Amino acid sequence: MDYQELFRKKEWYARCRESLPEFTMFTYEQAFEVEYTHNSTAIEGNTLSLIETKVLLEDGISIGGKALREIYEAVNHRKAYRYVKECIKQGKLLDEKIVKDIHALLMENILTGGIYRNVQVYISGARHMPPPPELMYRQIKDFYADLSWKGKKLNQIELAAWTHAEFVKIHPFTDGNGRTARLIMNYQLMAEGFPAVSVAKEDRLEYFKTLDAYAVEGNLQPFANLLTGLVDRQMDKIIELSRQQQGTAPSNTT
């Protein structure tokens, strides 16, 4: 699917979303929160299963035999995602304060969040090594400065992809960079009327490969293509839900 087709489909998706009952959308969003939290934390090594994540988040039941850190990672991720949605609802543009707030929420009861690293870090299995602290500080400031003009140069999907890929390339925090990057990518998507997406833990190898292509070669296209597919499939879920609810989804015409 090319970008123009995806942008046309977004209008159809919006009509379908508006046609669904409020309670239906509430339960859909609740299910997505669980799935997204499970996948985003599992990609980073969290061992909670999908059903364990559901029981923890929806029923408030702690999971025996799991490290306390893993429990906090799931609970914190949902808090951070809800913060993202609230910021978008208020019409706020993504900026440094919001990114630091997201990271602080993700790291609650784990480590002090929202503070940039002052040590060199390494990423296992990656061909790219993040910049040392002195270069990282300059690069992260450039990242925030570039957010606005990149939006004029790139389309909405490319901007979301760049926001994620550039952020993890800089790797400004000692921990939680991947979760933060996926949240700010979704921030950019949702701010433009697209659905948030969840990278399945089973697809993490392809996901890491596309990010590595950007970090090493400066090639954003593989990751942008991956994101396009994720967005397309997520919109299809709402369109199909609308079709099931009403017998037929709103017409895909402008």
With DSSP H G I counted as helix, E B as strand and the rest as coil, what are the percentages for the chain, rounded to 5? 70, 0, 30
**Domain extent for 154:** 3-246
Query: Does some domain include residue 208?
Result: yes
> In this predicted structure, what is the pLDDT of residue 128?
85
**Alpha-carbon gap, residue 119 to 182, rounded angstroms:** 23
> In this predicted structure, what is the pLDDT of residue 249?
57
254 and 23 in contact (C-beta within 8 Å)? no
Which tokens hold the place of 25? 């959308």
> In this predicted structure, what is the pLDDT of residue 130?
93
Ordered mean pLDDT values, 10 residues apiece, the chain (254 residues): 91 95 95 98 97 95 92 98 98 97 98 96 82 96 93 93 98 97 98 98 96 96 98 96 78 61
**Alpha-carbon gap, residue 242 to 82, rounded angstroms:** 24
Q: How many domains would you assign to the chain?
A: 1
Residue 154 CA from chain centroid, whole number: 18
Which sequence positions are flagged as catalytic? 171
Query: Does some domain include residue 143?
Result: yes
> In this predicted structure, what is the pLDDT of residue 224?
97
> In this predicted structure, what is the pLDDT of residue 250?
65
Query: Does some domain include residue 118?
Result: yes
**Closest Cα partner for 57 from 25, 87, 80?**
80
Query: Does some domain include residue 253?
Result: no
Q: What is the CATH number of the domain that holds 33?
A: 1.10.3290.10
Query: Does some domain include residue 229?
Result: yes
Which tokens hold the place of 73? 């990672």
**Alpha-carbon gap, residue 24 to 164, rounded angstroms:** 30
Which tokens hold the place of 21? 């009952």
